[in-house]
Amino acid sequence: MSPVYKNGAPTTDPDQLHDQFNEVWGNPCGWRALTIVNHTSIGLRFLVTGGVFFLIGGLLAMLIRTQLALPGYELMEPDVYNQVFTMHGTVMMFLFAVPMMEGLAVYLIPKMLGARDLVFPRLSALGYFCYLFGGVILLSSLFLDVAPKAGWFMYTPLSSSAHTPGVNSDFWLLGITFVEISAVSAGVELVVSILRTRTNGMALHKMPLYAWYILVMSMMIVVGFPPLILGSILLELERAADMPFFDVARGGDPILWQHLFWLFGHPEVYIIFLPGAGIVSTLIPVFCQRPLVGYRWVVLGVLTTGFISFGLWVHHMFTVGIPQLAQAFFSAASMLVAIPTGVQVFAWLATLWLGRPVYRVPMLWLVGFLIVFVAGGLTGVMLALVPFDWQVHDTHFVVAHMHYVLVGGMVFPLMAGLYYWLPHFSGRMPSERLGRWGFWLFFIGFNVTFLIMHWTGLIGMPRRVYTYDTGLGWDMPNLVSSIGSFIMATGVATILLDIVLHFRFGMAAPKNPWNADTLEWATSLPPSAYNFVSLPDVSDRHPLWNNPDLPDSIARGEHALTVIDHGRRETWGTDPLTGKVREIIHLPGNSWLPFIAAALLAALCLSLLNKAYVLALVATAATLLVLLRWSWENGAHPAAAPDARTQPGEPPLHSRTFDGPGLWGMGVTLLANGALYLSLLFGWFYLWTVSPQWQVPEHRLNGGLMLASALLLSVGSIWLHRLIRHLRAGSHRGLLPQLALLALLALVQSAMLLWLLLAAGLAPTETAHDAVIFVMLAYSIIHCTLAAVLTGLQAWRVGYGYVGDAAPYEPVVVEQLWYYNLGVLWISYAAIVLFPASWGGA
Amino acid sequence: MKHARTSPYHPLQIPIGLIIWSLWFVVIYGGQAVICAVAPPDPRQGVWNWLNGGLGLLTLFTVALLLGLAHYFWRLSRAPRALNERQLFVTKLAAGIHLIAALATLFVGVPLLQIPPCL
Amino acid sequence: MAREVANVWWAMFGFAVLVLLVVSGLWIHAMLRQPRETGAEQARRINRRWIIGGGIVLPSASIVALLAFGIPAGRSMLPLPIEGEQPLRVEVIGHQWWWEVRYPESGVVTANQFILPVGRPVDIEVTSADVIHSFWVPRLGGKLDMIPGRRNTLRLQAAEAGVFRGQCSEFCGTQHAHMVLHVEALKQDAFAGWIETRTDLSHQPAGGVAGQVFADRCGQCHRVAGVSDGNRAPDLSDLATRPTLGAGVIDNDAEGLRRWLREHQSLKHGIAMPSHDDLSDETLDQIADWLETLGPRTKQEQTRP
């Protein structure tokens, strides 16, 4: 049914083909390794860095367990202990769990989809460096004895400058926000890659299940992280500029922070768990040698989990005094999430029931996963019951539950996955014996540590105490937990040893060693930078079971897109629904730009930490320049794709169409941005209705000016829309002057907003009311100015001939930003001008 | 080849049930929060007050809507003319999602019968 | 109340263990069994049975059951209007890291101890003077956060007389571990006596240097009825009857009090009370002697725990 793209390759000798491809795709060595943008290298870097952070987080956990082993034992002073447990949680959540799962997805997704790379390779590199630098900055605080110490959820006012005056909290707020750039950018990239770069014929219902899981996880990251980013920005503004978003006396409310934090924090749990479940759904069919039963059921479960997990956040806040009816909604929703999880568990069970599973080390970890995770899920359902939660909230019961869910739902599947894909990373098989020892030590140690901890909490031990008195019945369970934690640590050491040794002594992996069904095993082991010399067509969900010869025929160049003499890095751009080829996506090559941009962002982060605001401004400007420079190499630019010719019968290059991946990338990014803005809007209405001492100052905003600015933006958007309609019709007459005029219009319109802001007489340090308005206006000013700059840049590029009717790809990308700004400005107008007027009248 | 986004076979139909659920959830949570701040009903009325009643009616309406849509997609998946594999996937999945969303709405709405608001 | 929750817990625990054993058992059995070859149609039937039965029916039934008897259990903690004798109102205010306890009806103020009558509901209005704390007496009931700017009300009722332990359960900074509340339920008449002997208390200042030092330094933060009016630190008016010092750090006896006055910064690092290193032992002992006299008006021994 679908056209088969097959080009007469100039050669079918795999070695010769490899050399040709390596010339275009190959990774440089030495210092220039920092320029690598390839997803295989970036994915491995994420995994290794995440592993190192895991070991550091684990060491912190050992310190905690040592301190708590005996009553009254003070290995660390209370302030040091508080830093250690805060950093343990922070490192494990933000520097280990999420980046590790994203790293694995970055590594696997293109290979599973039969693509050569992710769609925005340079963005992957930027994300990695942001993660690395942010993580290092955050960890450096431990060695300077100024680590965050208000708990990993940073409840204000404890984390505010009145109660934590040093830079401790700033390290958290700035460092984590920095790291989250990487999380969100990887999220955007994975969404677009999964939707747009599947190989020919891989329709939506033929995707590997892992891709479904990662699609949902990435969408959740895109929507779920922005509330925390906003919260961190607001709290940092409160600490640095004294804007009282969370200060009751000036009309703020500390509970707003909790809402923003958990609005992120609960989906986060599923962001970690879903990829873990995705690994389980990938491995079980392979070890049973039959397809997973109930593909549709599992997709249903994953989607449902993704949505419902956004309706649970208040179950972390059952004790803050929210009306019981509202608590009951969240309580019911929290229990509800057991159903889609149950569907998956029983789909796995049914697969095992019908298959004849093979017992290898990954399978062992899967059994461990099931037992630990189901136990954690059951205590989770208990905690969703409000009266029970009132009893055990903030005790060690919750600590135990959370470790059962997170270690069970994430670490066990991850270990299974690591053992499973280890031959893929290294080309060698791990040792069965050492692997089994590692598993049993970890499994037994884990349960000894955390099973009894439920009891410790039930008899009343709160979490986060640096010591406890003897005679309360807490001594024995704590000692048992500490012993267990050391057993678990030896397990980790054994696994580490196994992995290190396998590089030296492991047997060379045979082709497709587990007889898997998915395309990642069709690459060479370890894979080359381009994954596949030729891109195969796919007709069902199990390409390698259907055609075990695929690895060889791919290497011989018997499939599509094998011509490389044009020097472009190319992969298929396909229809998100049918998986039919629509265009050729050409990808940018290695570059210093991501590294430089990340380094400049690190400089920004450091100068903010040191309150060197002039320097921060310089760093911001420099970052912006680098990013604009980055965007310059696009379209028909000589470094991108100056020559648009493709092989006969092949579709056009994406930069010659109106529907390139950039359009999708912009759309998904704006979705994230919209989630951020909606969180701000939520904060505004929340404070207005709930804040205990909300104050509305006398002065009024100049509503007329804001209206004028919004109208001007509307006119501009309509104009741009018409302009692009002409471009779509194939005419680029007057494109340059009109784009330039539009840029000017956007500039004027932003200037009006700026004037509004300056002339409003706001006192953002005196009331939360003014502080929120300030942020809302600043948000629009920044975005509208950005639209002006980008539109101006487009005009300039038209002048160079990089953009035009031949390469019309970019203006439609910028167009989306205009519409977004338009929507935001009108909503802001309604929220800060119309709403207060009507409320006051009521 | 174009797929109209309004076509019942377009995958955009898949998440709509859960999006309706999300909107309903925002309305009942936000609604009770705002009304409790502005004009809380008398706690002596127990659960039989206008706030619980109003939210309850909304819940029933949403459940009915979701069930109707689930039924619609289920019928589509059994259409007399043969569907291709992809259309079958979309319609069956959409039917399932709408059904689950209806159950979720019903389930989360039950406390309206048990707990008075604003306390 | 706590009893009801305990019953809920044991029921849930039993059920959860059952589910865990059954699911893990099934899983392991599924792995070990040697299945016969199954046809596609039969396989579909088996699958559907597992997924619908185990994945949808089982969890749905469990959570319906859980909600049915779980939600009513929470109602008794709601401050609903009640008939007959009205609940006793008590205000508890969290500070870093101690508890201020006020009985607004009689004007009695104390710290780090919370005395309540048996058999009468008590509405505890909790709030905080600085960061978020959480009020929790495990054996009496659930916890409720103490949030600056908000007043949350928790209804508790002690079924029998006794001593209970309360502890702050929301992380509140350096000494979160040392924020213990002594809770005691007294028979109704004993409670009335407890209140009565503390109502309108007035003490005499200490004599000599001790009195001067107390007025210049301690009194700026501590209130002693009739002597000083500080409001940033615990009220000391009935200090002598409290079982511990520093919110559970050290026993309140002759030795403990003297140690606390000298070593409070090392016993409870980070607290706001400045070091007394510049005061002579003699002065500190005099202050301690005087502090030991601060108790309720009469029947002092009777109420001493």
The secondary structure of A688-709 as a DSSP string is: HHH-TT----S----HHHHHHH
Quick check: B65 contacting A, CB < 8 Å?
A: no
Residue C228 bridge partners (DSSP): C224
B89 contacts in A (CB within 8 Å)? 204-205, 296
- Residue of chain C whose alpha carbon sits nearest to that of A459: C138
For C116, the enclosing helix (H) or strand (E) is strand C113-117
- Rounded mean pLDDT of A150-178? 93
- Non-local (6+) Cβ contacts of A49 within 8 A are A99, A103, A128, A131, A132, A135
Whole-number Å distance between alpha carbons of A199 and A111: 10
Whole-number Å distance between alpha carbons of A660 and A134: 31
Q: Is the pLDDT of residue A637 over 80?
A: yes
Domain ranges of chain C: 2-75, 88-196, 208-303
Quick check: A253 contacting C, CB < 8 Å?
A: yes
Domain presence at residue A94? no
Q: Residue C106: is it exposed, middle or buried by C-beta count within 10 angstroms (0-12/13-18/19+)?
A: middle
Whether residue C75 and residue B115 make contact (CB cut-off 8 A), yes or no, is: yes
Q: Is the pLDDT of residue B2 over 70?
A: no
The CATH class that applies to domain C208-303 reads mainly beta
- Non-local (6+) Cβ contacts of B78 within 8 A are none
Nearest to A689 among B34, B89, B90 (CB): B34
Q: Is the pLDDT of residue A20 over 70?
A: yes
Q: Is the pLDDT of residue A635 over 90?
A: no
Rg (CA), chain B: 18
- Non-local (6+) Cβ contacts of A257 within 8 A are A154, A155, A156, A231, A234, A235, A246
A91: amino acid identity, one letter: V
- Non-local (6+) Cβ contacts of A30 within 8 A are none
Over the stretch A360-372, which tens digit does the pLDDT of each residue have?
A: 899 999 999 999 9
Domain presence at residue A180? no
Angle at which helices A361-383 and C58-75 cross, to 10°: 30
Whether residue C67 and residue B119 make contact (CB cut-off 8 A), yes or no, is: no
Whole-number Å distance between alpha carbons of B85 and A689: 50
- How many other β-carbons are positioned within 10 Å of the β-carbon of residue A323? 17
Domain presence at residue A6? no
Task: Please tell me the predicted confidence (pLDDT) of residue C76.
Answer: 65
Over the stretch A386-432, which tens digit does the pLDDT of each residue have?
A: 889 999 999 999 999 999 999 999 999 999 999 999 999 999 998 88
Place of tokens 């290092």: A136
Reported as a pLDDT band with limits 50, 70 and 90, residue A805 is: confident
- Rounded mean pLDDT of A171-192? 94
CB pairs below 8 Å between A and B: how many? 100
Nearest Cα residue to A196 out of A816, A659, A728: A659
Quick check: B118 contacting A, CB < 8 Å?
A: yes
Whether residue A78 and residue C66 make contact (CB cut-off 8 A), yes or no, is: no
Task: Please tell me the predicted confidence (pLDDT) of residue C85.
Answer: 79
Whether residue C71 and residue B111 make contact (CB cut-off 8 A), yes or no, is: yes
Reported as a pLDDT band with limits 50, 70 and 90, residue A451 is: very high
Query: How is residue C100 written in tokens?
Result: 């201020």
Q: Between residues A711 and C8, which one has the greater pLDDT?
A: A711
Over the stretch A333-381, which tens digit does the pLDDT of each residue have?
A: 998 899 999 999 999 999 998 888 888 899 999 999 999 999 999 999 9
Whole-number Å distance between alpha carbons of C205 and C225: 10
Nearest to A354 among C43, C77, C269 (CB): C43
Q: Coil, strand or helix: which one is A114?
A: coil
- Residue of chain A whose alpha carbon sits nearest to that of C26: A349
Nearest to A346 among C34, C50, C136 (CB): C50
Domain presence at residue A762? yes
Whole-number Å distance between alpha carbons of C197 and C107: 12
Q: Could you tell me the fold of the domain covering C88-196?
A: Immunoglobulin-like (2.60.40)
Q: Between residues A610 and A698, which one has the greater pLDDT?
A: A610
Reported as a pLDDT band with limits 50, 70 and 90, residue B3 is: low
Residues A456, A578, single domain; the answer is no
Residues, chain A, total? 842
Whether residue A333 and residue B104 make contact (CB cut-off 8 A), yes or no, is: yes
Task: Please tell me the predicted confidence (pLDDT) of residue A465.
Answer: 95
Over the stretch B97-118, which tens digit does the pLDDT of each residue have?
A: 999 999 999 988 888 887 888 8
Whether residue C28 and residue A79 make contact (CB cut-off 8 A), yes or no, is: no
- How many other β-carbons are positioned within 10 Å of the β-carbon of residue C193? 17
Task: Please tell me the predicted confidence (pLDDT) of residue A406.
Answer: 95
Distance between B37 CA and the closest CA of chain A, angstroms = 6
Residues on C contacting B at a C-beta cutoff of 8 Å: 60, 63-64, 67, 71-72, 75, 78-81
- 8 A C-beta contact, residue C262 and residue C245: no
Task: Please tell me the predicted confidence (pLDDT) of residue C160.
Answer: 92
- Residue of chain A whose alpha carbon sits nearest to that of B107: A332
Rg (CA), chain A: 27
Whether residue B43 and residue C80 make contact (CB cut-off 8 A), yes or no, is: yes
Phi, psi angle pair for C14, to nearest 5°: -60, -45
Of A354-368, A816-830, B6-20, B56-70, minimum mean pLDDT range: B6-20
- 8 A C-beta contact, residue A787 and residue A638: no
- Residue of chain A whose alpha carbon sits nearest to that of C44: A293
Distance between A601 CA and the closest CA of chain C, angstroms = 31
Residues A459, A497, single domain; the answer is yes
Task: Count how many Cα atoms sit within 13 Å of the Cα of residue A333 in the half-sphere of its side chain.
Answer: 32
Over the stretch A201-257, which tens digit does the pLDDT of each residue have?
A: 999 999 999 999 999 999 999 999 999 999 999 999 999 999 999 999 999 999 999
Residues A413, A441, single domain; the answer is yes
B115 contacts in A (CB within 8 Å)? 324-325, 328
Domain presence at residue A688? no
Domain presence at residue A121? no
- Rounded mean pLDDT of A6-23? 76
Reported as a pLDDT band with limits 50, 70 and 90, residue A2 is: very low
Q: Is the pLDDT of residue A7 over 60?
A: no
**Best-predicted range by mean pLDDT among A449-453, A760-764, C1-5?**
A449-453
Range of the domain at A581: 520-587
Task: Please tell me the predicted confidence (pLDDT) of residue A589.
Answer: 92
Handedness of CA C69, A316, C94, A764 (dihedral sign): negative
Task: Compute the mean pLDDT over every residue in chain A, rounded to the nearest whole number.
Answer: 93
Distance between B17 CA and the closest CA of chain A, angstroms = 10
Task: Please tell me the predicted confidence (pLDDT) of residue C300.
Answer: 47
Whether residue B15 and residue A307 make contact (CB cut-off 8 A), yes or no, is: yes
Residue C144 bridge partners (DSSP): C135
B90 contacts in A (CB within 8 Å)? 204-205
Q: End of a domain among A486, A509, A532?
A: A509
Task: Count how many Cα atoms sit within 13 Å of the Cα of residue A360 in the half-sphere of its side chain.
Answer: 19
- Count structural domains, chain A: 3
Task: Please tell me the predicted confidence (pLDDT) of residue A841.
Answer: 43
Task: Please tell me the predicted confidence (pLDDT) of residue A484.
Answer: 97
Q: Coil, strand or helix: which one is A593?
A: helix
Task: Please tell me the predicted confidence (pLDDT) of residue B6.
Answer: 67
Angle at which helices A324-336 and B85-109 cross, to 10°: 150
Whether residue B92 and residue A296 make contact (CB cut-off 8 A), yes or no, is: yes
Distance between A73 CA and the closest CA of chain B, angstroms = 43
Quick check: B50 contacting A, CB < 8 Å?
A: no
C75 contacts in B (CB within 8 Å)? 115
Whole-number Å distance between alpha carbons of C214 and B2: 86
pLDDT mean by block of 10 residues, chain C; 305 residues: 79 90 90 79 84 87 80 69 84 96 94 94 94 94 93 91 95 94 95 92 89 92 92 93 93 94 92 92 93 80 44
Q: Coil, strand or helix: which one is A644?
A: coil
- 8 A C-beta contact, residue A24 and residue A567: yes
Whether residue A381 and residue C5 make contact (CB cut-off 8 A), yes or no, is: no
Query: Is this prediction's ipTM beyond 0.90?
Result: yes
Whole-number Å distance between alpha carbons of A16 and A22: 10
B111 contacts in C (CB within 8 Å)? 67, 71
Give me the DSSP letters along C157-218.
-BSS-EEEEEE--S--STTGGG-EEEEEEE-HHHHHHHHHTTTT---PPPPHHHHHHHHHTG
CB pairs below 8 Å between A and C: how many? 237
Quick check: B85 contacting A, CB < 8 Å?
A: yes
Phi, psi angle pair for A632, to nearest 5°: -65, -35
Pairing assessment for the beta strands C122-128 and C88-95 based on DSSP bridges: parallel
Whole-number Å distance between alpha carbons of C20 and C105: 52
- 8 A C-beta contact, residue C85 and residue C120: yes
DSSP type of residue A205: G
Q: Considering chain B, what percentage of its residues have pLDDT values greater than 70?
A: 95
Residues A700, A821, single domain; the answer is yes
- 8 A C-beta contact, residue C269 and residue A77: yes
Residue C224 bridge partners (DSSP): C228
Domain presence at residue A330? no
Distance between C305 CA and the closest CA of chain B, angstroms = 36
Quick check: A826 contacting C, CB < 8 Å?
A: no
Nearest to C30 among A248, A320, A349 (CB): A349
Domain presence at residue A615? no
A311 contacts in B (CB within 8 Å)? 22, 25, 108
Residues A531, A486, single domain; the answer is no
Task: Please tell me the predicted confidence (pLDDT) of residue A779.
Answer: 97
Domain ranges of chain B: 60-119
Cis peptide before A526 (omega within 30 of 0): yes
Predicted TM-score (pTM) of this structure: 0.95
Task: Please tell me the predicted confidence (pLDDT) of residue C305.
Answer: 41
Over the stretch A294-311, which tens digit does the pLDDT of each residue have?
A: 899 999 999 999 999 998
Whether residue B110 and residue C72 make contact (CB cut-off 8 A), yes or no, is: no
Whole-number Å distance between alpha carbons of C102 and C219: 19
Task: Please tell me the predicted confidence (pLDDT) of residue B39.
Answer: 81
Nearest Cα residue to A342 out of A383, A389, A291, A308: A308
- Rounded mean pLDDT of A677-696? 93
Residues A382, A406, single domain; the answer is yes
For A585, the enclosing helix (H) or strand (E) is strand A581-587
Nearest to C54 among A155, A342, A472 (CB): A342
Whether residue A321 and residue C152 make contact (CB cut-off 8 A), yes or no, is: yes
Quick check: C170 contacting A, CB < 8 Å?
A: yes
- Kindly state the greatest CA–CA separation across chain B: 62
A78 contacts in C (CB within 8 Å)? 174-175, 177, 269-270
- Non-local (6+) Cβ contacts of C155 within 8 A are C76, C77, C78, C79, C87, C121, C122, C123, C124
Whole-number Å distance between alpha carbons of C243 and A633: 75
Q: Residue C39: is it exposed, middle or buried by C-beta count within 10 angstroms (0-12/13-18/19+)?
A: exposed
- 8 A C-beta contact, residue C248 and residue C260: no
Whole-number Å distance between alpha carbons of A231 and A218: 20
**Cα angle vertex C174, ends C173, C175, to 5°?**
100
Distance between A307 CA and the closest CA of chain B, angstroms = 7
Q: What share of chain B is helix, strand, coil (3-state, %, to 5)?
A: 70, 0, 30
Q: Coil, strand or helix: which one is C92?
A: strand
Nearest to B114 among C63, C71, C80 (CB): C71
Between the CA of residue C17 and those of A217, A386, A403, what are the distances in Å?
30, 21, 18
